[in-house]
Structure 1
Amino acid sequence: MKKKYLLTILICWQMLTVGFAQKPNIIYILADDLGIGDVSAYNPNGKIQTENIDNLAKCGVKFTDAHTTSSVCTPTRYGIMTGRYNWRTTMKKGVLHGYDTPLIDPKRETVASFLQKQGYKTGIVGKWHLGWNWGNIEEGPTKVDFSKQVSNGPNGNGFDYSFCIPASLDMPPYAYVENGFCTAIPKDSCEGRKGIELFRAGLSAPDFKPEEVIGKFTEKALSFINQNANKDKPFFLYFPLAAPHTPILPIGEFLGKSKVSPYGDFVLMVDDVVKQIVATLKKNGIYDNTIIVFTSDNGFANSANLQAQLSKGHNPSIDYRGLKTDIFEGGHRVPFIVSWGNVIKKGKVSDKLLCSTDFFRTVAELNNAQPTDDTAEDSYSFLGEITNKKSNFEQRASVIHHSSNGFFAIRKGHWKLIMCSHSGGNGKPKADSEDARGLPPIQLYNLKNDIAETRNVYAEHPKIVKELTDLLTKHIQEGRSTKGKIQANDGPTHWSQLTWLGK
């Protein structure tokens, strides 16, 4: 025990004095549709108690002003993987589905391919949702040859190992794909399965049972850790869960455990996954040399039955306005926790502005490496915030938000400018509603004294509106928000969401 304690001290001393000489392992856990108020470390008055996620916060840094690039799934995942805003791609709104082709350009560097070059063994277990090429997909979904290896998926984007489902848990085809091959061929229709609510009918593989997905993912993630612990290479595990996204499927001991709702029970299953990850790291003696990031891809989804949560006194968005899909804070402000054994200060709460794209340059700085000019164009390092060491990388001063329907907002300081009169998504007021038609074309909120975005003060601050509009336009048109050479955006260069500005 004494020898292990001395070894931990030596590791920490080396990292803090010689610039992270021993590279840490990295695990990035991405929950799916988990609201910021569903984590009790952020919502002490909430009714769901996530003790294991809370323990990460107690042992690390809890960011209170962290945001995803988008208020829906696929775009956020693109930003995490590339360090680039999702709307710079050809997909200007919405999400991909299970048969869709890749969103990531095969020539683009991802955080996984970047870490491979830094000597990491890379793995992904979970929900991919960024598209890939099924066999014969060019002939249409009904002609897909599931026996063929998929291309331009995780293994083509920097992952040595992959075990994934193609998209969300309610999107066909329903199949596990390991290193590009289906573990069983999808051939049966999922329609009519008693007791299981799948919102989109389609083909399902015989080994695919929706209620077992979270357990199967956890089993594969723990296996990856066990196989790669204490090896010559450090490892990076990207662990994008498919929960608590619908369909809500708590099982076994978790049924009724939250005493709130089936959704609350499903959240506790996610919390238990964190417990198992930490226990496995400690069992292998690598907890102190492993960075764990825990976050969500967007806010709580109304399809998970918001009213059921509110009726029990639990608000997944806390005091923030909006939900998944919306441009309001509840759509994209998420829990973001980073722990790193004994290396970083325990229990720190940071109000530093952070975006999900920032993971890329953070691990770049961790490895004393600089991305090329056409890589991670919208990523800023937060390494200094978790280590209390002065960062040599550019720091974030503003962030651009994006809704499911493709509408923009920009945040700088406590000012947030929204480029539409409505929610930008499925929330109220909707774009085509009578309420929205009677509102000003833009919204400006002072989040310092109006975190719930209730008072639009755009008419009172024309200089702020102009400053933020100019900054947003600049960051859009230059193809980057970081310093560097101007880059090209993909797809149409006419931004319909900015037409009222004449841009």
Structure 2
Amino acid sequence: MNRFFVFTTLLCLAFAVSSQAGDKPNIIFVLCDDLGYGDVKCLNPDGKIATPSFDRLAKEGMIFTDAHSGSSVCTPTRYGVMTGRYAWRSKLQSGVLGGLSPRLIEQGRLTVANMLKAQGYSTHCVGKWHLGMDWVRKGDVEALNIEKAEQVNNVDYTKPITNGPTSVGFDTYYGISASLDMVPYCFIENDHVVANPTETMKLVMNKGGAVSYTREGPGSPGFRGEDVLPTFTREAKKVIEAKAKAGAPFFLYLPLNSPHTPILPSEKWQGKSGISLYADFVMETDDALGQIMKATEDAGIAKDTLIIVTSDNGCSPSADYPKLLAAGHNPSYNMRGHKADIFDGGHRVPYIVRWPAKVKGGQTSSQIVCLTDFMATAADITGVKLPETAAEDSFSILPALLGESGKPVRQSVIHHSINGSFALREGDWKLELCAGSGGWSDPRPGSPGEKGLPDTQLYNLKTDIAEKDNLEAKNPEIVTKMKSQLDEIIISGRSTPGAPQKNAVEVVLRKPTPAAKPNAKGKGNGKKKAK
């Protein structure tokens, strides 16, 4: 996709006739980090963490109880939010990026920020980016690798950063490059660090019990993990207040750093839950949401502001599950697994929408939706017809929000785990093309517990939300049908109607386990590949 094509696409979008001309809402998309479905009180009646802001948003808006992140880890989900495309169609086939990784979003790919900017929106990002940006490297360094400690000092932090958020459609950016357990430990404003990271530091992960630390590397003097969430909240409120006065529609993408590790609630929130630091951090995250809501209300724009709040994946096992479970709180609610897994605990996430001007409050929808659907929804709201080369896996949820139709928003959704394992959800059925979790819970890939298990799992989530009863052997026709559908979606380069598109790389449908041996012909594990 060349730059001329992108320019002409944006030009067409800018002159598109909007079905809601003059009636474009402000849009605020809040993406929590590692917040479990069961961490939100209105979604988990047995939950022990107070979340009054989430609960009020739900009372005044609409809950989607069957919403899914594009992946069970963060970078690929963020790619999907920004592009409306599953990340496994990109070069990222497993895992996540680091804080010094290069830009993941392809040059020329249309993003939701670019699209809304063409429709007259001012566009702003505050928070954790984690989609890569290009730092100026010192010396002869071929690539920046988060796993190689010596690489973190081969960056000239005094030079402007290229290919960050402002290169994909955002007018302004204030945040951190990746997760707060990754270097560099510094704030970034637009294309430069706010303060040069001249110190070597690491952040304490847990102040209670055993102490562990984040990766060691460059940090700005005085930078503290406890200050990051309050800073994001403050900067987001500034955007809301300034843009409300300007009178034109705005888009604010607010990817928070919480409650991801390092679990560092600010001092005023430590001990508030009476359960654990993680529970305290969830409460502070809830308070941040409340401040965002209040900012729109104080500015007089709440009625015409669409707020979506969700999470990039399920809760991490680093959240001290034993302590939470002992208190009677399960971050995954009644589902199996957690962050990184192919099981629903890895990717079924909170998803709450408030838009007083259009969406009736107090509603609950059981429709299957995915975070990739944001782009098509934003396009539908603003009357934009998306080109066939964009948002290939994005379906508009606007009809569900407006109560216009009982038809499903989407027929199916594809799930992806940290090691690249695939699953297909259609109706009540869920097909998983791996023997175990595909992630961090038992049975882990390549573990003794996974050995001997069927290499395919099939669950009926209507009767077995905990994914305990594998029905694969009893329903071979369903397995065959769903496997064929999954192949077709992968090969077509899209799950939405339209002309076939190309995936960036060959997509391997079944991932070899860490202990996999070459087959007799010496060509890997011999499994079929979908291209």
Deviations 1:461-482 (A, max 9, x none): 1111111100100000111000
Partner of 2:136 in structure 1? 135
| CA distance in 1: counterparts of 2:500 and 2:224, whole angstroms | 47
| CA distance in 1: counterparts of 2:244 and 2:24, whole angstroms | 13
Deviations 1:202-255 (A, max 9, x none): 110114211100011111000011110042420000000000001111223312
How does 1:81-480 map onto structure 2 within 5 Å? 81-136=82-137, 139=141, 141=151, 142-191=153-202, 198-389=213-404, 395-480=409-494
Alpha-carbon distance, 1:430 to partner: 1.1
- Residue 77 of structure 2 contacts residue 312 of structure 2 at CA under 8 Å; is this kept in 1? yes
Structure 2 unaligned regions, length at least 5:
1-18, 145-150, 513-525
- Residue 102 of structure 1 contacts residue 152 of structure 1 at CA under 8 Å; is this kept in 2? yes
Alpha-carbon distance, 1:493 to partner: 4.4
SS state at 1:66 partner: strand
Alpha-carbon distance, 1:502 to partner: 6.3
| CA distance in 1: counterparts of 2:189 and 2:529, whole angstroms | 48
TM-score (normalised: structure 2): 0.88
Could you say if the C-alpha distance between residues 22 and 191 of structure 1 is closer, same or farther in structure 2, counting changes exceeding 3 Å? closer
| CA distance in 2: counterparts of 1:451 and 1:434, whole angstroms | 25
Deviations 1:258-301 (A, max 9, x none): 11111100000000011111111111100000000000000010
SS state at 1:326 partner: coil
- Residue 72 of structure 2 contacts residue 347 of structure 2 at CA under 8 Å; is this kept in 1? yes
Aligned-partner residue type, residue 341 of structure 2: D
Could you say if the C-alpha distance between residues 254 and 493 of structure 1 is closer, same or farther in structure 2, counting changes exceeding 3 Å? closer
SS state at 2:449 partner: helix
- Residue 120 of structure 1 contacts residue 235 of structure 1 at CA under 8 Å; is this kept in 2? yes
| CA distance in 1: counterparts of 2:309 and 2:251, whole angstroms | 14
Aligned-partner residue type, residue 467 of structure 1: K
SS state at 1:497 partner: coil
Higher helix share: 1
TM-score (normalised: structure 1): 0.93
| CA distance in 2: counterparts of 1:198 and 1:124, whole angstroms | 28
How many residue pairs are counted as aligned between the two chains?
485
Alpha-carbon distance, 1:20 to partner: 6.6
- Residue 230 of structure 1 contacts residue 286 of structure 1 at CA under 8 Å; is this kept in 2? no
SS state at 2:62 partner: strand
| CA distance in 2: counterparts of 1:236 and 1:394, whole angstroms | 27
Aligned-partner residue type, residue 129 of structure 2: W
| CA distance in 2: counterparts of 1:20 and 1:428, whole angstroms | 52
| CA distance in 2: counterparts of 1:329 and 1:494, whole angstroms | 22
Could you say if the C-alpha distance between residues 252 and 404 of structure 1 is closer, same or farther in structure 2, counting changes exceeding 3 Å? same
Identity %: 46
| CA distance in 2: counterparts of 1:116 and 1:415, whole angstroms | 39
| CA distance in 1: counterparts of 2:276 and 2:445, whole angstroms | 31
Partner of 2:76 in structure 1? 75
Partner of 2:51 in structure 1? 50
Alpha-carbon distance, 1:136 to partner: 2.3
| CA distance in 2: counterparts of 1:241 and 1:20, whole angstroms | 31
- Residue 184 of structure 1 contacts residue 207 of structure 1 at CA under 8 Å; is this kept in 2? no
Aligned-partner residue type, residue 352 of structure 1: Q
Alpha-carbon distance, 1:184 to partner: 0.3
Could you say if the C-alpha distance between residues 284 and 191 of structure 1 is closer, same or farther in structure 2, counting changes exceeding 3 Å? closer
Aligned-partner residue type, residue 77 of structure 2: T
Deviates most, 493-502 or 25-34:
493-502
Partner of 2:518 in structure 1? none
| CA distance in 2: counterparts of 1:319 and 1:465, whole angstroms | 25
- Residue 166 of structure 2 contacts residue 190 of structure 2 at CA under 8 Å; is this kept in 1? yes
Aligned-partner residue type, residue 93 of structure 2: K
SS state at 1:445 partner: strand
- Residue 249 of structure 1 contacts residue 262 of structure 1 at CA under 8 Å; is this kept in 2? yes
Could you say if the C-alpha distance between residues 340 and 175 of structure 1 is closer, same or farther in structure 2, counting changes exceeding 3 Å? same
SS state at 1:423 partner: coil
Could you say if the C-alpha distance between residues 444 and 368 of structure 1 is closer, same or farther in structure 2, counting changes exceeding 3 Å? same
Alpha-carbon distance, 1:42 to partner: 0.4
Alpha-carbon distance, 1:435 to partner: 2.2
Deviates most, 199-208 or 436-445:
199-208
- Residue 381 of structure 1 contacts residue 394 of structure 1 at CA under 8 Å; is this kept in 2? no
SS state at 1:78 partner: helix
Alpha-carbon distance, 1:19 to partner: 4.1
Aligned-partner residue type, residue 39 of structure 1: V
Aligned-partner residue type, residue 111 of structure 2: T
Alpha-carbon distance, 1:21 to partner: 3.9
Aligned-partner residue type, residue 77 of structure 1: R
SS state at 2:308 partner: strand
Alpha-carbon distance, 1:346 to partner: 0.7
- Residue 197 of structure 1 contacts residue 247 of structure 1 at CA under 8 Å; is this kept in 2? no
Partner of 1:3 in structure 2? none
SS state at 1:84 partner: coil
Alpha-carbon distance, 1:192 to partner: 8.1
Could you say if the C-alpha distance between residues 493 and 62 of structure 1 is closer, same or farther in structure 2, counting changes exceeding 3 Å? closer
Q: Does 1:487 align with 2:523?
A: no
SS state at 1:95 partner: coil
| CA distance in 2: counterparts of 1:206 and 1:339, whole angstroms | 39
Alpha-carbon distance, 1:389 to partner: 3.0
Could you say if the C-alpha distance between residues 207 and 125 of structure 1 is closer, same or farther in structure 2, counting changes exceeding 3 Å? farther
Alpha-carbon distance, 1:135 to partner: 1.6
Aligned-partner residue type, residue 271 of structure 1: D
Aligned-partner residue type, residue 499 of structure 2: K
Deviations 1:80-121 (A, max 9, x none): 000000100111000000110011012101110111011100
- Residue 172 of structure 1 contacts residue 204 of structure 1 at CA under 8 Å; is this kept in 2? yes
